[in-house]
């Protein structure tokens, strides 16, 4: 019995061990199942959270895109039209005609822009700062959109703060090579460019090009924009030879990537025309200007800002070619449309005012030109500042107009202010600076302050010969004529040979580039007659009387004025 009991005990003990192992396995399986359930639940929750985040991101993107589209479509012109209509509609019928007559001359586009600035942009910027302080990239995107709109509306000073902050955020959060950062770098360059800060704009454009080539590609949109922008700022600094390759590369890549009719390609075409025109290659420039104008009218419409630029450019080219009647029609159209589209105070309107005055001045319609020049100068000083290149050109134009009217004492302060400013802002050898030197020299000759004129002009001759060579030699001819007259008027026989050399060279250039009937060519011939008569008086028997007679005969044979 004892033995049997021992066996039973042994069997019972083995069964208990197996049971314990079974129970432990069951516990492990249950735990594993619970862990699997928890994992599945967490996965479902994460998936749901990811979906919610994706939906919120899509919703935010939709809101941001909607807001950006609203800012892009801000239209001071339409608002001005509605303002005028609402004002007239509010008047009683019997007084409406009087009210309509009373608002003639009021630019409702400018009023609309003022209201937009105060009631839309200022409030929008305050809301962005408050609501998106913890979302820097969203904040930067909205700030960039506002800054771009302000810049395009011509509100340059107001655009600076949001543009600066957008760029700072994107540099910090995304790095210099991110596409969004490059967009802000280029836009900061555009703003500085329009403000006349050419050196800073060039630095920004070059940074954008370098970074886009490093992190994106040569044919990326940002690289293409940078090529175009660098070319523009180099042209505006008078560095025409440097700018040409950038413009040609931008145009070639634009045609290949986007086609001949894309708005950006049309901008490259327009800029190529401007460059060639600045180089004095008027015949080569004309097809580019005509292509840009025709396509912009057809694709963008007559009132698109880029179309207005092309209208103005085409008018300026025709004026340079001497086709003044056609030029005047285009310049008037550009100015009228710019007032309507941009308002009275936009930089493009100010440029159109200057162009209109310049055209009338070239036709010797000085009285008609004066109000355009005065309005342009007053508003350039107020809106762009005294040191903006466009303001300095407006000052120079005012001096030239007064000089042409014979108001030399009134003209001189303008001429000197323009020259001093252009030297300070653009440098001694910028084309606009050299033109200002020639303008002041011409005034001094007219005032019979010949030695002052010689001192001023002779020092600038080497730079003028470098800058205004080849197709641009007509400007050199004008300078040489003034320098020759200055030497002639100094009443020193020893410099008559120098005067002769300058006047003969000027006559040759004018005769070739403007023709024998042009007033500048005639003026050179008249100066040469005076030169040889003075030389004969100083050195009788030297044969100078014969030369005077020869030039008199040429003068008599010239077509009438």
Which residue stretches of 73-155 are H helix? Answer: 76-90, 93-102, 108-116, 122-131, 136-152
Cβ of 502: how many Cβ atoms within 10 Å?
Answer: 26
Query: What's the pLDDT tens digit per position in 405-419?
Result: 999 999 999 999 999
**Dihedral class, residue 427 (left if φ above 0, else alpha if ψ from -120 to 50, else beta):** left
Query: What's the pLDDT tens digit per position in 386-398?
Result: 999 999 999 999 9
Q: 195 φ, ψ to 5°?
A: -80, 0
d(CA 488, CA 504): 13
Hey, what's the torsion of the CAs at 37, 41, 44, 47, to 10 degrees?
A: -120
Q: Answer yes or no: are the C-beta atoms of 293 and 275 closer than 8 Å.
A: no
Average pLDDT over the chain, rounded to whole? 85
d(CA 234, CA 246): 9
d(CA 205, CA 436): 29
Query: What's the pLDDT tens digit per position in 469-507?
Result: 888 888 999 999 999 999 999 767 788 999 999 999 999
d(CA 292, CA 288): 6
Query: What's the pLDDT tens digit per position in 108-153?
Result: 555 555 656 666 778 888 888 888 889 999 999 999 999 998 888 8
Going by pLDDT thresholds of 50, 70 and 90, the confidence category of residue 19 is: low
Residue corresponding to tokens 């454009």: 205
Q: Answer yes or no: are the C-beta atoms of 414 and 373 closer than 8 Å.
A: no
């Amino acid at each position: 019995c004892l033995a049997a009991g021992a066996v039973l005990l042994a069997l019972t003990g083995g069964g208990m061990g197996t049971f314990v192992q079974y129970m432990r396995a069951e516990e492990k399986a249950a735990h594993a199942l619970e862990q699997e359930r928890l994992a599945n639940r967490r996965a479902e929750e994460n998936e749901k959270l990811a979906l919610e985040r994706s939906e919120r991101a899509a919703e935010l993107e939709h809101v941001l895109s909607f807001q950006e589209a609203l800012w892009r479509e801000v239209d001071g012109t339409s608002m001005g039209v509605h303002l005028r209509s609402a004002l007239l509609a509010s008047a009683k019928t019997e007084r409406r005609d009087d009210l309509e007559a009373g608002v003639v001359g009021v630019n409702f586009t400018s009023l609309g822009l003022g209201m937009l600035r105060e009631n839309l942009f200022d409030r929008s910027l305050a809301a962005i700062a408050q609501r998106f302080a913890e979302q820097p990239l969203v904040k930067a995107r909205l700030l960039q959109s506002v800054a771009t709109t302000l810049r395009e509306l011509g509100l340059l000073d107001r655009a600076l703060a949001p543009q600066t902050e957008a760029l700072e955020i994107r540099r910090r959060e995304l790095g210099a090579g991110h596409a969004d950062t490059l967009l802000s770098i280029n836009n900061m360059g555009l703003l500085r460019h329009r403000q006349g800060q050419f050196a800073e704009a060039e630095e920004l454009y070059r940074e954008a090009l370098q970074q886009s080539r490093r992190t994106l590609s040569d044919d990326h949109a940002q690289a293409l924009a940078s090529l175009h922008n660098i070319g523009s700022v180099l042209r505006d600094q008078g560095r025409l030879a440097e700018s040409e390759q950038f413009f040609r590369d931008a145009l070639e890549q634009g045609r290949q990537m986007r086609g001949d009719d894309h708005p950006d390609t049309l901008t490259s075409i327009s800029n190529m025309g401007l460059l060639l025109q600045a180089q004095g290659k008027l015949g080569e420039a004309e097809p580019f200007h005509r292509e840009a104008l025709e396509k912009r009218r057809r694709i963008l419409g007559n009132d698109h800002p880029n179309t207005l630029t092309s209208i103005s450019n085409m008018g300026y080219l025709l004026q340079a070619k001497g086709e003044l009647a056609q030029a005047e029609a285009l310049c008037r159209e550009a100015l009228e449309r710019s007032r309507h589209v941009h308002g009275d105070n936009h930089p493009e309107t100010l440029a159109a005012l200057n162009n209109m005055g310049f055209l009338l001045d070239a036709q010797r319609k000085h009285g008609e030109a004066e109000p355009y020049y005065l309005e342009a100068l007053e508003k350039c000083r107020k809106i762009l500042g005294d040191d903006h290149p466009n303001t300095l050109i407006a000052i120079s134009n005012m001096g030239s107009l007064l000089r042409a009217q014979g108001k030399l004492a009134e003209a001189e302060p303008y001429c000197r202010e323009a020259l001093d400013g252009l030297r300070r802002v653009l440098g001694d050898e910028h084309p606009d600076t050299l033109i200002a030197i020639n303008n002041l020299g011409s005034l001094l000759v007219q005032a019979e302050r010949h030695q002052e004129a010689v001192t001023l002009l002779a020092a600038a001759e080497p730079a003028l010969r470098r800058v205004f060579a080849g197709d641009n030699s007509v400007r050199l001819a004008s300078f040489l004529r003034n320098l020759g007259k200055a030497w002639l008027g100094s009443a020193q026989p020893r410099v008559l040979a120098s005067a002769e050399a300058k006047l003969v060279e000027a006559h040759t250039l004018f005769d070739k580039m403007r023709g024998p009937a042009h007033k500048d060519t005639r003026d050179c011939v008249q100066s040469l007659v005076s030169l040889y008569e003075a030389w004969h008086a100083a050195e009788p028997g030297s044969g100078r009387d014969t030369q005077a007679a020869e030039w008199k005969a040429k003068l008599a044979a010239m077509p009438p004025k």
